[in-house]
Structures are given as C-alpha cells and as structure tokens.
Amino acid sequence: MKITCIIDYNCPYSYIGLNRIKKACEKLDLNAEWEMRPFETEPQAGKRTAMSITERYAEKYEISMDDASKKISEIEEAAREDGLEMNFRDITLTSSKDPLRFTKYIQNDHPDLSLDIVEEIFKANMVENINLTNIDRLVEIAVSCGVEETDARKILENNYFNIDVFRDMEDAIASGITTTPCFILEEDGSETIINELLSTEEFAKAMTDLIGE
C-alpha cells in the first residue's frame, strides 16, 4: 500500500496523525510505501512578529487566550494518550518553509529516508521547540538520518524546491484539500482520501477496507 501524507511541521495534528497511521500499519503488519507532501499552513509566519502558539490560536480561532490555552492542553493530552511526547505549548511560531523544502528534496532523492526525517523534524519542533528556520539544526537532523552534510546544506542554504512546495500546495488545494493533515491510501488502483484526524483503529479499518480483507 502506498500512503501519501500531506503535512506541515507547524501542525500538531499532522504529528499525531502520522504517529497513528504508522501504528495502524504496524498493527496490520503492513509494509507501506511512504510519500511525504508539504503543505504550508502558516505562510505568513516568516513575515510577521514572532508569537507564541497560544497567541496564534487565540487569533486564528477568534477565542480568548484562556480558551486557546485549553485547546492546546487538549492537543498535548491527545498526543500523550498515544504515547507521543509533545510540548506544543512552548512553540514560537516560525516559518516551516525550509524543512518543507528539504522534505521535498528527500522525497525525490532519498525516499527511503523520508519517514524517518519527517518524524525527526516533527520531534525537534513539537518536543524540543527548535526554530524551524535554524538551518544548522535541520542539517544535524538530516545527517543523523543518513544524508550527506554537504547535500543537506546545499538544499537548505539556497532556494531549491521552493517552487515544488508551492506546486504541491496548489495541487492539494485544487483537489479540495485546504488544511493538514491529509492521508491518501492507494492499493491496486483504488484510493481512499482521509482529510481528518482518525484514531489508530479507524486508520487500520480504512486500510483493511481498501485492501478488501
């Protein structure tokens, strides 16, 4: 089965969803082919004054800071219930453009490393709260996953794959996908699109329904 994951590193649901769909594959002993597609949910993040994720949620959903804080607590609790470490509250919102560009490069040139690198970047942002524009930290992650440092720096220190990220997002929007995460399951010419956050059990059911078991 091929699983296409449309994700953004600023989206906690992308992190939780990727963890759940991976667990569903393990539960079914399914050897999946993974494809990671970037979708930048906060394109203005690099053009505005830095703000905490609580401030951004209050602004985005037009709610009070207290309600935004409660919403973030619920997200963190959902992650913990899945055994996934998350420190979303302490994120300072920054642009995800650079790691998304790098993800596109990895998917094209090192697809066997794409899942590992995506998971490590999510962990760095959602747990360590790195600045996603920190090229040196992104290079460290790439090297730890088996990418040559010179190759990683070449991509990250220039504008390579910038257009590719934009095109992927445009293609997703044209297909009716307007946010992350979205997961596309493909098996023997059949396709299932999941544009919401499901439980591990629900992901597993969607897979078995597609396979026809």
Measured in degrees and rounded to the nearest 5, phi and psi for residue 110 equal -140, 60
The pTM of the full predicted model, rounded to 2 decimals, is 0.94
CA angle, residues 141, 145, 147, in degrees to nearest 5: 90
C-alpha distances out from residue 108 to 3, 74, 86, 90, 113, Å: 15, 35, 29, 32, 10
At residue 51, does pLDDT exceed 90? no
- The whole-angstrom separation of Cα 122 and Cα 2 is 21
Predicted confidence at residue 212, as pLDDT, reads 84
| Sheet of strand 33-38, all strands in order from the earlier edge strand to the far edge | 33-38, 2-7, 182-187, 190-194
Task: Give 61-112 pLDDT, tens digit per residue.
Answer: 999 999 999 999 999 999 999 999 999 999 989 999 999 999 999 999 999 9
CATH (domain of 83): 3.40.30.10
Q: Which residues pair with 192 in a beta bridge?
A: 185
Q: Quick one: which of 96, 165, 87, 159 has its CA closest to 128?
A: 87
C-alpha distances out from residue 102 to 10, 71, 77, 155, Å: 15, 30, 30, 7
| Beta-carbon contacts of residue 175 (< 8 Å; ≥ 6 apart) | none
What's the domain count of the chain? 1
Task: Give 99-121 pLDDT, tens digit per residue.
Answer: 999 999 999 999 999 999 999 99
Predicted confidence at residue 47, as pLDDT, reads 66
- The whole-angstrom separation of Cα 136 and Cα 102 is 13
Quote the domain boundaries for residue 159.
Answer: 2-211
